[in-house]
Amino acid sequence: MATVSLGSPAGKWIMVSAILASAMAFIDGTALNVVLPALQQSLDAKGADLFWILNAYLLMLASLILIGGSLGDKLGRKKVFMIGIFIFITGSALCGLSPGVFYLIVFRIIQGIGGALMIPGSLSLISSSIDAKERGKAIGTWSAITTVVTVGGPVLGGALADAGLWRYIFFINIPIGIVALLILWRKVAESKDDNTDQTIDFPGAISIASGLALLTFGFLRMPAVGFNSWQVYGSLALGLLLLIVFIWIEGTSKHPMMPLNLFSNKTFSGINLLTFFLYAGLGGGMLFMSLNMVQVQGYSQLQSGLTFLPFTVLMISIARYAGAIADKKGPRLLLIIGPALAGAGLLILSFIKQTAGPSDYWTSFFPGVLVFGFGMSLTVAPLTATVMGSVSDHFSGTASGINNAMTRIANVFANAIFGALAVLFFSGAMQGELKKLSLKEKDKKTVMEQSANLGNAKVPAGIDGSNKKAVEIAYHNGFISAYGNIMRICAGLGFLGALMSAVFIRNSAVKKE
């Protein structure tokens, strides 16, 4: 298969199209976290609805991204990439036009299908088309730019949400996607493995999609009906069984979407474990930090988005150098230090209590964001390069799909599990807060019924005067308590990711270009 130089016109067009498509998908995810409070108010959505809006997309992405990567290898990376972009921008347009929560969830599913074909295609096209000697630099550039653009998503989301234009988070994908399609159509050559078997692993796709859907449903139902409900334990048990069936299918299939022999490489296994733990912590941390700032600390949504600017500056300054160091010295040390620092940043953020709002940012959120951003800046480019360097070029799309699937599955579980845990933590904290108030039992019960809405909980009608203010303070204190617990769990996941690097990743297992 012919390759091109990174500096050639063809190489530049490949990079531009890959970055545009990836940025489109990643901005959508990060910006949506910031606009959730505005979306919740506009569509009258409950707390559980928010997690479904997030997870409908992530669930389809996690379920199908493996097959998206392997389809590119088999049928043509450019072709599948373009189909994915088209489906994604169609879903985005429908999301922007959604009249209510139900329709938004359905259209987010369409977005997820497009993303599953689009996201692995961008990295696979780079890995298979760029000359081997420049591949590490290309992947590092892709990682740095897409991460910077991704972290710019909260700023864009905050500005649009404050202007009452949260729907444009979805509409903005359309012109970006059209430009990417035109570049791919006119400037980029097709890339595929002609010797690859073109059979599609439908049993594997169905089992993992169903398994993840059931697990997510079980966790999201837990706050509403409790763990003892058959809906919860039945869904969790059946979902876990289907994931075991998926592993069995992949181990016995002649045409697996996730070849298990790739995991015989300990570095490939370790880098995917690192990805799972680190991005679960990242997803949960960014979501609850945004909710805390807007719903409790008094930040506007634009101010909330701007708080991530230090992260962006660090990514611009450090990420490419980290990729170059990993190329020369090996990625292992950076992939231990980076996730550990990210975990330390999340831990610092977990100790924030009630503040005076944006005026306290520099002494409250800023130190944690700085440490967290520095850790992620050391991690992103070496992580991506290690994924692609630990397998043969023949499996570039599949490897990209697996690693992207780990990221999305981590986010699905983070949103579902942390959403359930947050409601439990919030309810427990509220019970303690209510003991301090002189409310009737009937009023205490109505106050507790708002727990599912977390930081958006409203004082029930009928409670006024000094009691109303006291209940508002109790809601804030309860959410801050739940936020602290969630952030400490996220920090632990970052530390666990660093441990995976120390145990599994070996520099000798990563191809030197």
pLDDT tens for 122-151 read 777 776 777 766 666 676 677 666 666 666
**Is the model's pLDDT at 181 over the cut of 80?**
yes
Per the domain annotation, does 130 fall within a domain?
yes
Residue 77 contacts residue 192 (beta carbons within 8 Å): yes
Q: State the total domains in the chain.
A: 2
**Is the model's pLDDT at 496 over the cut of 90?**
yes
The two three-digit tokens of residue 301, written as one number: 């949504």
Per the domain annotation, does 383 fall within a domain?
no
CA 96/CA 17 separation, integer angstroms: 23
- Residues 32, 173 within the same domain: yes
- Residues 131, 88 within the same domain: yes
Per the domain annotation, does 246 fall within a domain?
yes
- Please report the pLDDT score of residue 513 as a whole number: 47
**Is the model's pLDDT at 263 over the cut of 50?**
yes
**Is the model's pLDDT at 180 over the cut of 70?**
yes
pTM assigned to the model = 0.78
Mean pLDDT of the chain: 82
CA 284/CA 278 separation, integer angstroms: 10
Per the domain annotation, does 418 fall within a domain?
no
Own/partner contacts of 317-320, CB < 8 Å, gap of 24 or more, are 317/377, 318/374, 318/377, 318/378, 319/140, 319/143, 319/144, 319/147, 319/148, 319/377, 319/380, 319/381, 320/140, 320/141, 320/144, 320/381
- Residues 58, 186 within the same domain: yes
Per the domain annotation, does 345 fall within a domain?
no
Q: Percent of the chain beyond pLDDT 70?
A: 88
- Please report the pLDDT score of residue 147 as a whole number: 62
Per the domain annotation, does 462 fall within a domain?
no
- Residues 101, 208 within the same domain: no
Query: Which of the residue ranges 36-45, 78-87, 462-471 has the most confident prediction, judged by mean pLDDT?
Result: 78-87
The two three-digit tokens of residue 306, written as one number: 């701007």
The residue type found at 123 is: L
- Please report the pLDDT score of residue 224 as a whole number: 66
- Residues 16, 132 within the same domain: yes
Q: What is the pLDDT of residues 343-396, one digit of tens each?
A: 999 999 999 998 989 999 999 999 999 999 999 989 987 887 788 778 776 676
- Residues 154, 223 within the same domain: no
The two three-digit tokens of residue 23, written as one number: 């940025």
Q: What's the distance, Cα to Cα, between the start and end of the chain in Å?
A: 17
DSSP letter string over 85-104? Answer: HHHHHHHHHHHHT--SHHHH
379: Cα separation from own chain's centroid = 16
- Residues 11, 101 within the same domain: yes
- Residues 173, 216 within the same domain: no
- Residues 172, 49 within the same domain: yes
Per the domain annotation, does 133 fall within a domain?
yes
- Residues 83, 139 within the same domain: yes
Residue 61 contacts residue 190 (beta carbons within 8 Å): no
Structural domain range at position 151? 1-190
The residue type found at 383 is: L
